[in-house]
């Protein structure tokens, strides 16, 4: 799809002028037309959930209460034991599970609980419990997205300890059961720049929840044998550094219908009087 759209963009220029245009370009942006997305509720629901994303946090209870209080845009489910986590997963459908692999660690990083050691013992029972829960979730509900929560280490060797923990976490990801890693520096609501750390976590979780929601929407369309069909329109910004490809005329179609759809012209109305938009030829609907 990307290759086809780039070739189609290049066909809008004579060869000698195309080289001049492409020398400036350093970005290509694909995006859906916002008006087209919002015009049809069924289309809009494919991109953005009308409900708060539900997140199951399996970690120290105090961390859960901290997140619930300061990150209200998410519907938090809290569990501090493997049994509680499995029960919540069985009775609800969280958008994702956020698991502190050091399940049962006595204190949060930043509170001094790790200060007595240079390194956290890899074979500690808390790590064993976290890995066992990860295995059980993957066995019972493999479709449940699980992301491991990486928290900052404490003490004078915190940078080295943090890298050790990250290596352990990534080993769990590579071993299966976890889809990725979420790094959080937000472990307390005091000190310098705690709001900035909170906002960093909010941004990570917002993007992640949106991605998972859209993945689920795409899977649902697949089961219904539907595709999201659209036309495309190319653009070039005023500086000539960014090519944009806008997806327009979004509509749902049956797979067989979409594959047989004939080429159709662009929107018949005149284009906006803007130097950033190029005139275009008929584009084949893509899906």
Percent of the chain whose predicted confidence (pLDDT) is above 70? 75
Our CA angle for 3, 5, 43, nearest 5°, is 115
Q: How confident is the model at residue 277 (pLDDT cuts 50, 70, 90)?
A: very low
Candidates 180, 162, 161; CA nearest to 170 is 180
Radius of gyration of the chain (CA): 24
In the chain, list all ranges with CATH 3.40.50.2300. Answer: 54-219
pLDDT at position 55, please?
97
Q: Which residues contact 155 (CB under 8 A, 6 or more apart)?
A: 114, 115, 117, 118, 161
Please tell me the least confidently modeled range out of 99-103, 181-185, 238-242: 99-103
Q: Are 162 and 128 in contact (CB under 8 A)?
A: no
Say whether pLDDT at 281 is over 50: no
pLDDT top residue among 144 and 122: 144
Strands 54-58 and 27-32: unpaired
Q: Are 10 and 2 in contact (CB under 8 A)?
A: no
Candidates 155, 152, 144; CA nearest to 119 is 155
DSSP annotation string for 114-126: TTT-SS--TT-HH
pLDDT in tens, 246-258: 999 898 988 764 4
Q: How confident is the model at residue 114 (pLDDT cuts 50, 70, 90)?
A: very low
- Mark 98-133 as b/e (b = at least 16 C-beta within 10 Å): bbbbbbbbeebbbeeebeeeeebeeeeebbebbbeb
Give the pLDDT mean for 148-158: 66
Where helices occur in 176-276 by DSSP H, the ranges are 194-223, 255-260
HSE on the CB side for 21, CA within 13 Å?
19
Q: Which residues contact 163 (CB under 8 A, 6 or more apart)?
A: none
Tokens of 113: 């609980």
The answer as to CATH 3.10.129.10 being correct for domain 54-219 is no
pLDDT in tens, 205-239: 999 999 999 999 999 998 999 988 889 999 988 88
Residue with tokens 């013992």: 121
Question: Using CA atoms, how far apart are residues 28 and 44, in angstroms rounded to an integer?
Answer: 24
Distances (CA, A) of 46 to 42, 75, 167, 202, 217: 7, 20, 36, 22, 6
Strands 226-236 and 180-183: unpaired
């Amino acid at each position: 799809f990307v290759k086809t759209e780039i070739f189609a963009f290049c066909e809008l220029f004579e060869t000698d002028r195309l080289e001049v245009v492409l020398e400036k370009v350093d970005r290509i942006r694909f995006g859906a037309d916002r008006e087209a997305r919002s015009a049809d509720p069924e289309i809009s629901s494919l991109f953005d959930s009308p409900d708060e994303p539900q997140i199951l946090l399996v970690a120290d209870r105090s961390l859960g209460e901290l997140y619930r209080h300061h990150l209200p845009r998410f519907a938090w489910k809290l569990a501090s034991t493997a049994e509680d986590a499995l029960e919540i997963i069985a009775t609800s459908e969280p958008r994702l599970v956020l698991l502190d692999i050091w399940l049962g660690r006595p204190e949060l990083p930043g509170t001094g609980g790790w200060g007595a050691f240079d390194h956290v013992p890899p074979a500690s029972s808390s790590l064993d419990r976290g890995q066992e829960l990860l295995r059980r979730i993957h066995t019972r509900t493999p479709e449940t997205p699980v992301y491991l929560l990486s928290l900052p280490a404490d003490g004078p060797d915190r940078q080295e300890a943090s890298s050790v923990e990250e290596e352990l976490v990534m080993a769990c990801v590579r071993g299966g059961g976890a889809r990725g890693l979420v790094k959080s520096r937000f472990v307390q609501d005091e000190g310098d720049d705690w709001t900035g750390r909170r906002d960093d976590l909010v941004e990570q979780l917002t993007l992640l929840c949106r991605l998972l929601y859209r993945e689920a929407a795409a899977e649902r369309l697949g089961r219904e044998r539907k595709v999201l069909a659209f036309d495309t329109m190319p653009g070039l910004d005023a500086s000539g550094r960014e090519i944009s490809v806008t997806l327009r005329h979004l509509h749902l179609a049956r797979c067989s219908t979409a594959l047989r759809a004939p080429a159709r012209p662009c929107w018949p109305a005149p284009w906006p009087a803007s130097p950033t938009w190029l005139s275009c030829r008929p584009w084949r609907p893509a899906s």
